[in-house]
């Protein structure tokens, strides 16, 4: 085993796998702090995350916070576009790439603005799947050379907004998800005297692999069957709009884990495109949808939280796969479109939370000395604790300890064992379990019923945040997100932990982590110090997690800090913007409470107690002010060091 004295940052890397999931943006520095390289084109510029945390504290921003590294977001946009253009050149593909960012992945204004700005040189566009998102992209996707792709189910108002975009000169393509939408689109376009741009979404036979494989197949929610696509094409022709059919769209799922699914989908999609071309419909675009995955756990596998390919391999399969079929079918190479969002946004955002306490059943201490007339179960457990290091039958020790603890609980209910005796038995029981766990470390085989010892003996670190607000997918679909301490990684972590949040819900926890040899239900972290704050980062939260949080326990949104790299700064960064999170006043108002009325109600009650002489007037005024200050304050815990 690695000892405390020879622990290195290489050991920390082996444990936390930062380089494996960090995509070149994150690594452990020699000082044990997490470092960020926000721009792949400038590897000399590195940000020490501890410096970021220190500055957040200096300017008085309360944790937890969302930290956004906007240069990472911009870098990912450039990387995707440049990879496609480079591969297209290598393949001698006779068309180009025009990607779009699906706004649903992260609708935050700052994110959309950065994507649009970074994508401008590549004519990178936006995708909308709802009326509100369409209103957003009409305002923000002002590049007339980029695409606006409209997915999702649509009503007449949606169609009119889309045609308004066409009147404004935008390349807005309405993707038909069900046949009746096409009828409404043609009617609205004629009424508004606009030439629509139409896409058809194919219901694919190919299925993706992973949590979202239901996006393909006969039971897929969206898309037209083969018969419906042919009928839709002919319907457009009947109305003199054959030239309006511009795009074929397909999508087999988010977070595709297996590259074979991508290859199969491109092959099927290319065949459909070619046949529509042979039927006389000169489509210009093929939209392969989203699905470009993220390696959340660093395993480079087909697990739900990983992928067995790189971005470059994904792009190559799209470009070369489409070229091969088009050449065989002797049809033009279409302009390639993707709707990659997770791959662009995941890395740029993380949640930073402070550990505010430790919970451990095995950490309890109670006097276990021999007492006169003590129950035999206490004596037995004490004798077992005294001999556990010398006995060889570990299974028998375990069985005896569990049996006597269960007997003690039953005896307590019958008033045979006293409360103090039960406390002694529980204390001795955990002593036995800890001693067993130490001995099991050096054994080759651990019996099945003892395999949970490490987890049962682990601590729970109490994190000042809400899983339901800031990491909803870890609870809802057991999505693995990397968790890493932001400092002290040059020290050996000595406390095995799971994480619990500050909500009053037992599901508010994280107990799936990246381990040295696969997934683990515990994570080794450092012991807490009285005079030092200990911060954890929850990473790869920029896709969906930023915008999917709920109002569980009325915690609301976190404070946000936006970071830009800057070579001339001694720390290579500056805080460009601070976005305040939800106040108690905000979240109560959302839930239709009236905070002003609530304050008045409490004031009346306090005034009543003042009049009765039960509270002094000066004290009453302070309590009224305190209540009103709390209404204006942050919803999360305020530690003693925040005061």
User: What is the domain-level CATH number for residue 304?
Assistant: 3.20.20.10
Give the model confidence (pLDDT) of 72-106 as tens digits: 999 999 999 999 999 999 999 999 999 999 999 99
Say whether both 224 and 116 belong to one domain.
yes
Q: Above pLDDT 70, what percent of the chain? A: 96
Domain boundary among 454, 469, 500: 454
Residue whose C-alpha is closest to residue 287's, from 239, 348, 222: 222
Angle, in degrees to the nearest 10, between helices 156-167 and 179-191: 50
Say whether both 311 and 405 belong to one domain.
no
Domain membership of residue 262 (yes or no) is yes
Q: Report d(CA 219, CA 252) in Å as an integer.
A: 12
Amino acid 253: pLDDT? 86
**Residue 450 pLDDT exceeds 80:** yes
Domain membership of residue 498 (yes or no) is no
Give the model confidence (pLDDT) of 21-41 as tens digits: 999 999 999 999 999 999 988
Say whether both 171 and 255 belong to one domain.
yes
Say whether both 442 and 306 belong to one domain.
no
Amino acid 451: pLDDT? 83
pLDDT (average), residues 343-365: 90
Domain membership of residue 544 (yes or no) is no
Amino acid 217: pLDDT? 52
Residue whose C-alpha is closest to residue 489's, from 26, 128, 95, 133: 26
Say whether both 130 and 182 belong to one domain.
yes
Q: For strands 147-150 and 125-128, give the pairing.
A: parallel
CB 524 within 8 A of CB 499: no
Domain membership of residue 431 (yes or no) is yes
Say whether both 151 and 246 belong to one domain.
yes
CB 542 within 8 A of CB 347: yes
In SS3 terms, 549-612 reads as: CCCHHHCCCCEEEEEEECCCCCCCEEEEEEECCCEHHHHHHHCCCCHHHHHHHHHHHHHHHHHC
Q: Report d(CA 489, CA 470) in Å as an integer.
A: 24
Chain centroid to CA 368: how far? 46
DSSP single-letter state for residue 97: B
Give the model confidence (pLDDT) of 218-255 as tens digits: 556 678 999 999 999 999 999 999 999 999 999 988 89
Q: Report d(CA 620, CA 606) in Å as an integer.
A: 6
H or E segment at 147?
strand 147-150
Tokens of 443: 């054994």
Q: Report d(CA 304, CA 205) in Å as an integer.
A: 21
SS3 104: helix
Burial call 234-248: b when 16+ CB within 10 Å, e when fewer: ebbbeeebeebbbbb
Helix then strand then coil, in percent of the chain rounded to 5, is 45, 15, 40
Say whether both 313 and 440 belong to one domain.
no
**Residue 363 pLDDT exceeds 80:** no
Average pLDDT, the chain: 92
DSSP string of 5-31, one letter each residue: TT--HHHHHHHH-HHHHSTTSEEE-TT
Residue whose C-alpha is closest to residue 172's, from 223, 117, 125, 235: 125
Chain centroid to CA 276: how far? 39
DSSP string of 113-139, one letter each residue: HHHHHHHGGGT-EEEE-SHHHHHHHHH
CATH of the domain at 398: 1.20.58.930
In this structure, of 156-165, 503-512, 609-618, the range with the lowest mean pLDDT score is 503-512
CB 489 within 8 A of CB 7: no
Q: Report d(CA 114, CA 542) in Å as an integer.
A: 13
Q: Report d(CA 125, CA 150) in Å as an integer.
A: 11
Say whether both 309 and 178 belong to one domain.
yes
Say whether both 418 and 308 belong to one domain.
no
Domain membership of residue 108 (yes or no) is yes
Q: Report d(CA 571, CA 342) in Å as an integer.
A: 29
Domain membership of residue 16 (yes or no) is no
Dihedral sign, Cα of residue 484, residue 487, residue 490, residue 494: negative
Domain membership of residue 49 (yes or no) is no
Query: CA 311, 313, 317: angle at the middle one, nearest 5?
Result: 120
Amino acid 4: pLDDT? 67
Residue showing tokens 């030239």: 243
Amino acid 550: pLDDT? 76
CB 200 within 8 A of CB 224: yes
Range of the domain at 599: 585-642
Say whether both 242 and 311 belong to one domain.
yes
Say whether both 172 and 304 belong to one domain.
yes
Domain boundary among 454, 488, 521: 454
Q: Identify any residues that bridge with 578 across adjacent strands, giving them in sequence order.
A: 561
Residue partners of 135: CB distance under 8 A and separation at least 6: 161
Amino acid 1: pLDDT? 46
CB 177 within 8 A of CB 187: no
Domain boundary among 286, 307, 340: 340
CB 560 within 8 A of CB 68: yes
DSSP string of 452-495, one letter each residue: THHHHH-EEEEESS-HHHH-HHHHHS-----EEESS-TTS---E
Neighbours of 184 (CB within 10 A): 17
The confidence band for 631, taking pLDDT boundaries of 50, 70 and 90, is very high
Amino acid 440: pLDDT? 86
Dihedral sign, Cα of residue 78, residue 84, residue 87, residue 89: negative
Neighbours of 165 (CB within 10 A): 21
Say whether both 447 and 372 belong to one domain.
yes
**Residue 291 pLDDT exceeds 60:** yes
SS3 539: coil
Q: For strands 34-36 and 26-28, give the pairing.
A: antiparallel
The confidence band for 494, taking pLDDT boundaries of 50, 70 and 90, is very high
This prediction's pTM: 0.91
Q: Above pLDDT 90, what percent of the chain? A: 81
Domain membership of residue 466 (yes or no) is no
The number of folded domains in the chain is 3
Q: For strands 349-359 and 535-538, give the pairing.
A: antiparallel
């Amino acid at each position: 085993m690695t000892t405390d004295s020879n622990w290195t940052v290489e050991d920390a890397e082996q444990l936390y796998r930062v380089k494996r999931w960090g995509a070149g943006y994150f690594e452990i520095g020699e000082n044990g702090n997490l470092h960020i390289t926000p721009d792949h084109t400038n590897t000399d510029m590195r940000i020490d995350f501890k410096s970021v945390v220190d500055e957040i504290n200096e300017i008085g921003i309360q944790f937890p916070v969302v930290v956004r590294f906007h240069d990472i977001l911009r870098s990912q946009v450039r990387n995707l576009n440049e990879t496609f253009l480079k591969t297209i050149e290598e393949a001698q593909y006779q068309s180009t790439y025009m990607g779009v960012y699906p706004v649903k992945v992260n609708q935050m204004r700052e994110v959309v603005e950065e994507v649009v700005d970074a994508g401008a040189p590549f004519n990178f566009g936006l995708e909308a799947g709802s009326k509100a998102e369409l209103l957003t992209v009409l305002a923000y996707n002002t590049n007339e050379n980029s695409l606006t792709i409209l997915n999702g189910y649509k009503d007449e108002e949606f169609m009119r907004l889309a045609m308004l975009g066409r009147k404004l000169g935008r390349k807005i393509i309405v993707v038909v998800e069900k046949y009746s939408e096409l009828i409404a689109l043609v009617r609205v376009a004629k009424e508004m005297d606009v030439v629509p741009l139409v896409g058809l979404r194919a219901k694919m036979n190919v299925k993706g692999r992973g949590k979202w494989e239901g996006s393909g197949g006969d039971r897929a929610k969206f898309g037209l069957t083969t018969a419906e696509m042919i009928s839709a094409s002919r319907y457009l022709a009947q109305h003199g709009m054959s030239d309006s059919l511009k795009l074929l769209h397909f999508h087999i799922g988010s977070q595709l884990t297996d590259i074979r699914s991508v290859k199969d989908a491109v092959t099927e999609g290319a065949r459909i495109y070619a046949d529509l071309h042979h039927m006389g419909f000169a489509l210009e675009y093929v939209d392969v949808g989203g699905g470009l995955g993220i390696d959340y756990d660093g395993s480079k596998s087909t697990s739900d939280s990983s992928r067995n390919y790189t971005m470059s391999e994904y792009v190559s399969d799209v470009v070369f796969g489409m070229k091969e079929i088009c050449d065989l079918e002797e049809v033009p190479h279409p302009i390639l479109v993707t709707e990659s969002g997770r791959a662009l946004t995941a890395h740029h955002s993380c949640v930073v939370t402070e550990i505010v306490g430790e919970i451990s059943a095995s950490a309890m201490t109670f006097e276990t000395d021999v007492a006169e007339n003590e129950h035999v179960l206490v004596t037995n457990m004490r004798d077992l604790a005294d001999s556990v290091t010398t006995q060889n039958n570990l299974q028998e020790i375990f069985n005896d300890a569990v049996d006597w603890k269960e007997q003690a609980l039953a005896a307590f209910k019958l008033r045979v064992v006293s409360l103090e005796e039960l406390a002694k038995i529980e204390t001795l029981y955990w002593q036995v379990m800890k001693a067993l766990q130490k001995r099991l470390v050096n054994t080759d085989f651990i019996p099945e019923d003892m395999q949970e010892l490490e987890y049962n003996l682990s601590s729970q670190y109490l994190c000042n945040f809400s899983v339901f607000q800031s990491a909803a997918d870890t609870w809802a679909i057991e999505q693995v997100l990397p968790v890493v301490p932001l400092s002290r990684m040059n020290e050996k972590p000595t406390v095995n932990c799971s994480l619990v949040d500050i909500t009053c819900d037992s599901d508010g926890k994280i107990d799936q982590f990246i381990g040295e040899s696969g997934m683990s239900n515990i994570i080794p972290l450092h012991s807490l110090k009285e005079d030092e704050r200990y911060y954890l980062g929850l990473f790869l939260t920029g896709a969906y997690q930023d915008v999917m949080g709920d109002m569980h326990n009325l915690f609301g949104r976190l404070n946000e800090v936006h970071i830009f790299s800057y070579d001339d700064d001694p720390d290579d960064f500056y805080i460009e913007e601070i976005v305040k999170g939800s106040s108690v006043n905000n979240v109560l108002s959302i839930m239709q409470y009236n905070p002003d009325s609530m304050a008045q109600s409490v004031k009346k009650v306090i005034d009543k107690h003042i009049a009765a002489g039960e509270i002094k007037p000066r004290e009453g005024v302070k309590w009224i002010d305190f209540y009103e200050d709390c209404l204006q304050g942050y919803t999360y815990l305020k530690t003693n060091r925040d005061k």
